[in-house]
Amino acid sequence: MTPEPALVDHVRDMARTRPRARTARGKAEGPAIRVRFASGADARLNPESPRDMVWAEVLESLRDSRQPAYVEIDPQTRYITSLLLPQRFTVAAIREMPRADDVEVELEISHARHHLRRAHPRFDEMYTLLDRARREKTPVLVTESLDSSAIVDVRPAPSLTGRRRT
């Protein structure tokens, strides 16, 4: 079974790994930072990459503050290829946009315009989650792309009951 390439989860722990000898496929594995998530999923960062070192700091901060991360993981190498920060919102409204390939989503307390693109492979699933959250007034975790207001992921927000506040 191929692991899911995108994950929204809390970081359990992180550790540097040492280079390994050649594997059965003949490839040697270089040093890495292993990221383990609460669900048990594992991913890697390259300690020789400046971008990955910044991401390691962000993931450590999210771990310490008990906040989730949205990560995309290459299924072959298990390296993290994208890191975004989901935010907890209540959905105020969903509007069909005339002559547009997206739906506008109004999120409480945000003043930005948020868009769910019909071309997204999970459009139907995410639209259903957003609409249910709007009707039931329950929060969702919304992740947006860095370069636009496009929603890339929607998940039910975990309950805050019983969470220790820091």
Same structural domain for residues 77 and 104?
A: no
Number of domains making up the chain: 2
**pTM: predicted TM-score of the whole model, two decimal places:** 0.83
Alpha helices in 24-137 (DSSP H): 50-65, 123-136
| pLDDT tens-digit series, residues 25-59 | 556 567 899 999 999 999 999 999 999 999 999 99
Whether residue 106 lies inside any domain: the answer is yes
For residue 100, the enclosing domain spans 87-156
Task: Indicate which CATH number applies to the domain containing 76.
Answer: 2.40.50.340
Same structural domain for residues 70 and 93?
A: no
2 contacts: CB under 8 Å, gap ≥ 6:
75
Among 84, 101, 125, the domain boundary falls at: 84
Same structural domain for residues 45 and 100?
A: no
Whether residue 96 lies inside any domain: the answer is yes
Task: Classify 53 in phi/psi space as left (phi over 0), alpha (psi -120 to 50) or beta.
Answer: alpha
**What integer pLDDT is reported at residue 22 of this predicted model?**
54
Same structural domain for residues 96 and 122?
A: yes
SS3 75: coil
Distance of CA 46 to the CA centre of its chain: 19
Residue 63 predicted with pLDDT over 60: yes
